[in-house]
Amino acid sequence: MKLPNPYVGTTPPSGIRVPDPDELIHNICSEWSPRANFAYPPDAPTFWIKYGFAVGWNEVCAQVMAYEGLQQLESEVRAPAVFYAETIRTNPPATYIVMEYIPGKTAGQCLAEAQDDQAEELLARSVSLAISELYRIPVDPGTRPAAISGDKIKYDPVWEFGAPLHYENVQQMEDHFNEVCFVCVDPFLETCAACFLIQRRHK
């Protein structure tokens, strides 16, 4: 999924004004941060804002894909709509995302508040449903393994700044992971994602 930068997304409900870029970057998000999240305005939130130099453009693409895909599936699972997003060319670059505010609690908060095994089981089923619904979002046949934005795969334990190549198919990616595993000092080190994935595959 390719999105323009800046990205103007879903139209907000009537009467709600999305902060303009200058206000967003220089006033609302004035504190320099690797990754920050907060409800805005704080007294009566209408937006959830995420920004920082550790926030990638691929997160914008992933969220738009999730929102649109779940809408098309008429799923009971929701993803926040993205109203506006932009990556600015600072050093390092920083991405700003203004999204829909959905009241609720995180899975971690719900787990901490669970009083018994039944509550934990209900939470586990809810998380499982959300993940399974995301898996239902169709992907075009022949799509190669890549970030949702089309960029190279990025996963910090293996490639801090992205994979060294674009994979043409899953077999090529698996072969490369096996090469990485072969040269790994400790092939059972769980922080090496390549080794860890291969261990999971053959268990």
- Does residue 12 share a domain with residue 70? yes
List 95's β-bridge partners, or say none.
52, 87
CA 130 from chain centre, in angstroms, equals 14
The residue among 100, 127, 154 that closes a domain is 100
What pLDDT sits at residue 169?
82
pLDDT digits (tens, 9 = 90+) for 63-91: 999 999 999 999 999 999 999 999 999 88
Half-sphere exposure of 116 (CA within 13 A, CB side): 1
Instruction: Locate 166 and state its tokens.
Output: 């674009």
In terms of Cβ atoms closer than 10 Å to its own Cβ (0-12, 13-18, 19+), residue 125 is exposed
Residues of the chain above pLDDT 90, percent: 60
- Does residue 94 share a domain with residue 12? yes
Q: Is 114 a domain residue?
A: no
What is the domain count for the chain? 2
What is the secondary structure of 19-31 as a DSSP string? PPHHHIIIIIT-S
Q: Is 112 a domain residue?
A: no
3-state secondary structure of 167: coil
pLDDT, mean of residues 134-161: 73
**Range(s) of the domain holding residue 192:** 142-203
